[in-house]
A and B are shown apart, each in its own frame.
Chain A
Amino acid sequence: DQQVKQNSPSLSVQEGRISILNCDYTNSMFDYFLWYKKYPAEGPTFLISISSIKDKNEDGRFTVFLNKSAKHLSLHIVPSQPGDSAVYFCAARAMEYGNKLVFGAGTILRVKS
């Protein structure tokens, strides 16, 4: 049972434009959501997070939006840069499960210069 889904395996965006990565979840008990970025041959790097009591969190070029009623979150990167090309993982946690994270399958972002 895939509780966190990233339906787009890949996304290609022009440098300077907005990148929007999407994530859907099914478990209404999730109370915290995170985005990780992963380059080849490296471990995932924490990018940004959002609590379920908020609907938006911004950090520089990265903004995460949460729509609880739709069980949907998205990561916006503005402006996109070639160095943003990586695999992006959405992750969620539910307090009842402790601090374990449930990850989506990832979306490959390619930013073309």
Chain B
Amino acid sequence: QVQLVESGGGVVQPGGSLRLSCVPSGFTFSRYGMHWVRQAPGKGLEWVAVIWSDGYNRNYADSVKGRFTISRDNSKNTLYLEMNRLRAEDTAVYYCAKVGEEGYNDFDYWGQGTLVIVSS
């Protein structure tokens, strides 16, 4: 049974940094790409970043490019999102999601999310 568990959320001041983690189970992590998706309070889902199984190919939403870094450690079975120069508008629940099994650019499993609040 696939499970994704995010952690690392909390309250941080504007301009600050935070690192989120996502620990998967129930599948071979090193074989799949992974995403981060966020949902601001009262808003819809927003795609944040993707990293492919090789760990080198990555892409970002324009809203976070240059501030956020997605990475993975296949030896530790962990996905990360390093968030720098945080802004109030980055306040959201952050979900990690697994790339779909058949390669159709879907998100087939999601975690429960971790809440990040950017506030002074």
**A and B co-occur in one complex:** no
